[in-house]
Structure 1
Amino acid sequence: MTDPAELRDLALATAREAGELVLRLRNEGVEVAGTKSSGTDIVTRADQAAEALVRERLLGVRPEDGMVGEEGDDLPGSSGVVWIVDPIDGTVNYLYGHPHFAVSIAAEVEGEVVAGVVVAPALGLEYVATLGGGATCNGRDIRPRPVVPLGERLVATGFSYEQPARAREAAYIAALLPRVRDLRRQGSCALDLCGVAAGTLDAYVEEGAHIWDHAAAGLVVLEAGGILEVTRSPGNKRLLICAPEDGYGEFRAAVVEAGFVGAEGPNATLRSGE
């Protein structure tokens, strides 16, 4: 079974269950289990429990599939299908009781993302997409906001948890901010990308995101009518640039001028899902 609709349905049912689990665990009290890239980059017991649940549900139905998970579930498979999972995108928000966090699950077939779901249980939002099948939020078709002049665009971003990278990113943001309406740092890459897809944001740029942050949401963006470019920053980190198709070039040029983008050459630019 590699039908994108069937993979989507399995991902959605699993993400809903994982969302219910993390809400229940939050009500019981959030416990930090450890750190990753820095002392402020945390992982909670709920991250681990949710990823374990997702692994059990997905591979229980499809045992020959592979899986890539933020909390360490990198499992090879033989079916050609790989699940890319972020059990809680926005863990710091989750720790502090902010509702802006999500369960993100993408299904990749032979290297291409064909189904993606981003479920925000505390917000009651479910973003869903299949390759060639469009994108929805809570069952309704979504499209990006009509393009406005650059100075009227609301742009979201994210920051690394590594201090040298933060210093770099502060300089990029300082150069970009005077050129746009305003900036938002909401703490969940997946939800911010979905915000561009649904028209609640005009654009997104972030240095240092990982594949599990954007695999599912990137498909939502593409199917809604946006562009998600994955390239490299001057620090040679993965750089996401996202905006509606119309006006994308102008936003990208502003991002380049602000210093976000590193030296570009052959094969320097990737597309969503790569």
Structure 2
Amino acid sequence: MTTDERLLDELADLALSIAREAGTLIAEHRAAGVEIAKTKSSATDIVTAADHASEDLIRERILAARPGDGVLGEEGSAVEGGTGVHWVVDPIDGTVNYAHGIPNYAVSIGVEVAGEPVVGVVLNPAQGLEYTAVRGRGAFRNGEPIRVADPVEVDQAVVGTGFNYRRDVREIQARTLAAMLPQVADIRRFGSCALDLCAVAEGSLDAYVEEGVGGAWDYTAGALIAVEAGAEVQVLTGVAGRILVTAAPSPSYPAFRDLLESCGFVG
């Protein structure tokens, strides 16, 4: 085993172990009752006490095991590292679902080495789902290999999406989705970018598009899982000037990208 392979094994094992511990923590907080800590971009863009507790735990566990690594977290972690290893963390992706008792939320941990994603873990404790990937080794759900759906024409595609918290962005999203809806089989909105990307990876969604995700913590882990399962993932700029995450099985992606262009998604 090469040094690089040993490093990947170490990072993958650590990421999964930490995600499981964070998943247990947020499940315990959920059972005890959700406390809204603050709002961010709007009254519906909430942060719970569990978001902060989960991110604190994840950051502490990473730095205890690998004190020279960098960490970026949605709730404020911004640790500069000197090892070339960088962790990208969403302590609860799908916080609104979490706060309302909808069991579609996840701990998302991505790891980059020299700027390239190499490990992804997306763990949904409410449904007992663990999605994992290591670069070049495929994607897995609860230890079993997963693959994207067989390619379909865009008019047969079930497409996942999400909505930004700002009203002006939502108005733009409403127009682009209205243009898309008659041209696809259907549209689904589940409330977690990371889990939507995993849905593409496992073949339960044919494609995914969302403008206005919060940052790299939303998509880094899920994007690697989707890519390792056979998807193409592109992070573009949307018509509202915000991050636009797009994904579909690689053979289907060019036609899906053309659809997005024609419906006005791409800036």
When normalised by structure 2's length, the TM-score is 0.97
Q: The residue matched to 2:191 in structure 1 has which SS?
A: coil
Instruction: Show CA shifts across 1:223-270 (max 9, x none).
Output: 1100110110122111111000011111111111110001xxxxxxxx
**Residues 65 and 82, structure 1, Cα contact 8 Å, conserved in 2:** yes
Q: Distance in 1 between matches of 2:156 and 2:240?
A: 29
Q: 2:123 aligns with which of 116, 119, 122?
A: 119
The answer to whether residue 221 in structure 2 is matched with residue 206 in structure 1 is no
Q: Distance in 2 between matches of 1:36 and 1:211?
A: 17
Matched residues, percent identical? 53
Q: 1:246 aligns with which of 247, 251, 257?
A: 251
Q: 2:156 aligns with which of 148, 152, 155?
A: 152
Q: Distance in 1 between matches of 2:49 and 2:134?
A: 31
1:1-274 equivalences under 5 Å are 3-209=7-213, 210-262=215-267
Which 4+ runs in 1 deviate beyond 3 A? none
CA RMSD of aligned residues (A): 0.9
Aligned residues, how many? 262
Q: Which residue identity is paired with 2:228?
A: E
Structure 1: any 5+ residue segments left out of the alignment?
Answer: 263-274
Q: Which residue identity is paired with 2:22?
A: A
Q: Which residue identity is paired with 1:6?
A: E
Q: The residue matched to 2:199 in structure 1 has which SS?
A: helix
Q: Distance in 2 between matches of 1:62 and 1:111?
A: 17
- CA shift, 1:57, in A, is 0.8
Q: The residue matched to 1:242 in structure 2 has which SS?
A: strand
Instruction: Show CA shifts across 1:81-136 (max 9, x none).
Output: 11000000000000000000000001111111111100001011100001111110
When normalised by structure 1's length, the TM-score is 0.94
Q: Distance in 2 between matches of 1:149 and 1:238?
A: 26
Q: Which residue identity is paired with 2:54?
A: A
Q: The residue matched to 2:210 in structure 1 has which SS?
A: strand
Q: The residue matched to 2:109 in structure 1 has which SS?
A: strand
Q: The residue matched to 1:64 in structure 2 has which SS?
A: coil
Q: Which residue identity is paired with 2:13?
A: D
Q: The residue matched to 2:140 in structure 1 has which SS?
A: strand
Q: Distance in 1 between matches of 2:260 and 2:117?
A: 26
